[in-house]
Chains A and B, each alone.
Chain A
């Protein structure tokens, strides 16, 4: 609004926003605070908001490492193979990102730069598939994956593949996002390349992909978050302990031993959360713009 005078409304808004933000931040703060406490300190009454003392990890050789003892305990816990779960989760995330970026951008190119019969109907169908809930598909997917294991050389169940292979077939959400970006790239660019004798695949690779780095970044970020946070998929398709992801591993650990060592549970949660936090702070702008685009289709 145009007026430059300080408004009382504006101060009211400032105070209100500050209070709400404190409330929103509080669970994260409490997580951090609990994760640094000894177990007996977590049950203190009144609760101590800021731990008065942090136990750092002491090595057998008497060296003090800059890792709080609880975090060390989580990483080396014998009931929860944290390094292995991390490796599994990273692998799923990386393969999902590569697969989604390649397949979704190929499809988005087809939906935006090549005019063919039935394109619009197919695009509408694709948008419609976003409404299909995963629980509706999961039972049949399970039996399809089982069938593949029995009748084809591709083993699905008992491997991590169900969690990343579908990403190589594009995802409606990301194709939509990329297509919205591609239609803003002038067709003259691809036409010029076509006249120069460039193949469609060449245009996609040499003209469109380099121009769409910001959009691809958004897709990669969303895919990473989805893969890193995926719990339901892992719960259904993962069958052996050595294929647990971080989310599944933490949940299984909590339901088997938890409800007691809250400091360790909070330390583990924070460890799982940390890559997401770091990535968010590094790429904040890309992220926000990406979400803003998706809401605009109305």
Chain B
């Protein structure tokens, strides 16, 4: 390495040092520590005691862990595909030139900015079993609605519905992606006699596929960490623990039962699942993601 190289390296490191120090202190160190804690009996009150794989063995036999994992995956299955269709559909609708387009875009985007606690409050009010608006409207058409947030069957769909309300952020990303679709491609497709569906399937979706992929990965990462909404709306994991999410169980173990080692093991399983699912998404992307000009 020449002197200039070394000087450049010094300068470069100096500039990225805020991130580098933060990465070492608040990212790498916690990850390493959490792996170590996951192999320990650690209550915070006493120093960690090494126990090997015991926490992981206990996890395998912990029905609540499996239930919370199942609930999380169920929520993922409810929300990821529906959010994908809804946000793509909305982006295409909002891309059509029409009067009020700017206002419509604002309205769809707005809920995704809501502080989670505020939106949880209004949905708890709407979903209220006795005097909530939803059941009142349902009773008008002769349906007696369930106690949405107190039923082991209906809470999850209710939470999924609420989370779809925040889809606007993704819609904005898709809208931006739609601006990248070259007009010539549509025109060429039209000359070839391609209908609406064919244009969607053969032009729009392939060109959007990198953005869809990006959002898919982000939603996989996001959905496995879901905590705020179920924690606020269904304290204690809901009826029959039907809305105990994996992040909630992690939080309970860490800060209610002070089982920091056990909580760390859950954290590592969560990380592994995220890595595997994202890896799968990357692997599958070779088949369906098309990059323009490559």
Contact = CB atoms under 8 A, between A and B. Distances in A.
The finding on whether chains A and B are genuine partners in a shared complex, rather than unrelated, reads yes
Interface of A: 1-2, 9-10, 13-14, 16-18, 20-21, 24-25, 27-28, 30-31, 34, 42-43, 45-47, 102-104, 106-107, 109-111, 114-119, 122, 125-126, 129, 131-144, 146, 166, 168-170, 172, 175, 200, 204, 225, 228-229, 231-232, 235-236, 246-248, 250-251, 254-255, 262, 265-266, 268-270, 272-273, 276-277, 280, 284, 288, 291-298
B73 interface: no
Contacts of B250: 135, 139
Given A24-B165, A115-B8, A292-B173, A265 B121 contact: yes
A236 B8 contact: no
A262 B122 CA distance: 9
B263 interface: yes
Contacts of A21: 103-104, 107-108
Contacts of B19: 103-104, 107, 126, 169-170, 172, 175
Nearest to B225: A133
B278 interface: yes
Interface of B: 1, 5, 8-9, 11-23, 25-27, 29-31, 33-34, 37, 44, 90, 93-94, 96-100, 103-111, 113-126, 128, 131, 133, 136, 165, 168-169, 172-177, 186-187, 190, 196, 210-211, 213-215, 221, 224-225, 227-228, 231-232, 235, 247, 250-251, 254-255, 260, 263-264, 267-268, 270-271, 274-275, 278, 289, 291
Contact of B125 (A30, A119, A142, A268): A30
A92 B251 CA distance: 23
A136 B37 CA distance: 12
Which 6 A-B residue pairs are closest in the complex by CB-CB distance? A169-B22, A110-B15, A298-B210, A116-B12, A295-B173, A292-B176
Nearest to A274: B118
Contact of B267 (A136, A143, A293): A136
Given A114-B11, A266-B125, A276-B113, A142 B31 contact: no
Contact of A295 (B116, B119, B128, B215): B215
A288 B101 CA distance: 14
B194 to A, nearest CB: 12
B66 to A, nearest CB: 18
Given A31-B121, A115-B8, 16 more contacts: A14-B98, A17-B94, A110-B11, A114-B11, A116-B5, A119-B12, A126-B23, A131-B275, A136-B270, A137-B31, A266-B121, A270-B118, A294-B173, A295-B174, A295-B177, A298-B289
Question: Looking at chain B's contact residues, is the secondary structure mostly helix, strand, loop, or mixed?
Answer: helix
Contacts of A266: 121-122, 125
Given A13-B96, A255-B235, A140 B31 contact: yes
Contacts of A247: 115-117
Contacts of B131: 42-43, 45
17 contacts: A18-B100, A21-B103, A24-B107, A106-B18, A133-B270, A142-B254, A143-B44, A144-B33, A170-B22, A200-B11, A229-B117, A250-B117, A291-B173, A293-B176, A298-B213, A298-B214, A298-B289
Contacts of A24: 107-108, 110-111, 165, 168
A200 B15 contact: yes
A254 B168 CA distance: 27
A298 B180 CA distance: 13
B228 A291 contact: no
Contacts of B23: 125-126, 129, 169
Contacts of B187: 2
A137 B94 CA distance: 39
Contacts of A110: 11-16
Given A24-B110, A170-B22, A232-B227, A135 B118 contact: no
A102 B251 CA distance: 32
Nearest to B266: A135
B268 A136 contact: yes
A200 B10 CA distance: 12
Contacts of A265: 121, 125
B106 A269 contact: no
Given A24-B111, A280-B110, A133 B18 contact: no
A298 B173 CA distance: 11
A228 to B, nearest CB: 6
Nearest to B168: A24
Given A107-B18, A294-B173, A276 B114 contact: yes
Contacts of B268: 136
A236 B251 contact: yes
A232 B247 CA distance: 11
A272 B115 contact: yes
Contacts of A251: 117, 120, 232
A234 to B, nearest CB: 10
A109 B15 contact: yes
Nearest to A110: B15
Nearest to B24: A169
B12 A114 contact: yes
Contact of A140 (B18, B29, B110, B214): B29
B221 A34 contact: no
